[in-house]
Amino acid sequence: MIALAVAGLVSAPAFAQSNVTIYGIVDVGVAHHSGSSTHDSRTGIDSGIQSGSRIGFRGVEDLGNGLKAAFVLEYGIKNDQNYGIGHGTDSDNLQGSTARQQYLALVGGFGTVALGRLETPQHQFLAGIDPFGDGTVGTYATAYSKVTRLNNVAAYISPDFGGFTVTAAYTADGLDDEESTPKALKSGDLEVWAINPVYKNGPLVAGVNYQRAEIDNGAVDFKQWDLAGAYDFGPVRLSAIYGQIDYDQAAATHDKRKQWVLGAAVPVGAAGKVLVSYSEFDLEGKGANKDLDGSKWAVGYTHDLSKRTNLYAAYAKTSDDLGLKSTSGAVENDPYTKGFNLGIRHKF
């Protein structure tokens, strides 16, 4: 959750009045996607395969009386090309900007209040359940529709009550800036609100996410809920995600989407881990539109070279109705149905 990032900010020594930390991820590897009847196979050196490459700045100031001010400015980079901050695209961002997170927060005994561009509670929660961590061709997001980041967010993270926390978030326009709409017209702003209670206790993590997205002009109107959990038995960590989306907009081609993921992570020695997952989705047709469904299975391996550097490999295959995410950022209707990744990731 957002709380994870904020917790890192407020963990500075009590005597420090303020500090700023530079952090980031450099991730690069080989990505191969199979050919199809319409496209040749693709093999390339790509950035951000397991985790999006990024550079960020975070800081915290002790305001006294148990109150702190904290900020995060985080930007995506493409280290395989001549792109840096302010260039390129972010496939998880509908705006095409490289800004990943940009927010200012107040932290105290009441919890945390943050304002700015943020990762959604849904993304933070489900990525922690997915064995692949929402990375490589094994990511759960190939078969699972979700919202990654939103603009203009006001978020609240409760204090930890014996492992139980609640995150609530709202934005009047998650895609652009809030409009000044003439009274005779309906607003084009995307309004989103979400709530995400989570319980963590030792090897167990479980929670629910609910979010509603709506535009007054009717272009977007859907409700989504997710139920997910994981338990680490030691020899294996098992995880499961189930969700449903109800589409209410008149122009929707489908009434409902059901989706689920089962996964496992198995430690191999002190540094390795085998990852496996299977996922499905089912879109119920509306009117003359037919039902669509798809499935995907994935297997991967990560190996830690140090606490900050690891190697990774992943292979995934999807059904005909479901395509693997490629460099285009597309999910469904993508021509690639089989993919392989091999790379290295370094955190700093």
**pLDDT score at 7:** 45
Q: How many CA atoms lie within 13 A of 206 on its CB side?
A: 6
CATH classification of the domain holding 56: 2.40.160.10
283-311: per-residue pLDDT in tens?
A: 888 877 788 888 999 999 999 999 999 99
**pLDDT score at 120:** 96
Average pLDDT over residues 127-134: 97
Distance CA 204, CA 197 (A): 14
* Contact assessment for residue 277 and residue 262, using Cβ atoms and an 8 Å cutoff: yes
**pLDDT score at 8:** 45
- Domain holding 241, by residue range, is 2-347
Strands 149-157 and 221-232, sheet pairing:
unpaired
198-248: per-residue pLDDT in tens?
A: 999 999 999 999 999 999 888 899 999 999 999 999 999 999 999 999 998
- pLDDT of residue 67 exceeding 70, the answer is yes
Tally the residues of the chain: 348
Distance CA 163, CA 239 (A): 18
Which residues are paired to 219 by β-bridges?
A: none
Q: Considering its fold, how many domains does the chain have in total?
A: 1
**Beta carbons within 8 Å of 101's beta carbon, 6+ residues apart:** 5, 56, 72, 73, 74, 116, 117, 118, 119, 149
Share of the chain above pLDDT 70, in %: 84
Distance CA 17, CA 40 (A): 57
Average pLDDT over residues 165-180: 93
Positive/negative CA dihedral, 211, 217, 220, 221:
positive
**Beta carbons within 8 Å of 183's beta carbon, 6+ residues apart:** none
**pLDDT score at 168:** 98
Closest CA to 208 of 244, 171, 159: 244
Share of the chain above pLDDT 90, in %: 67
103 by DSSP, 3-state: which? strand
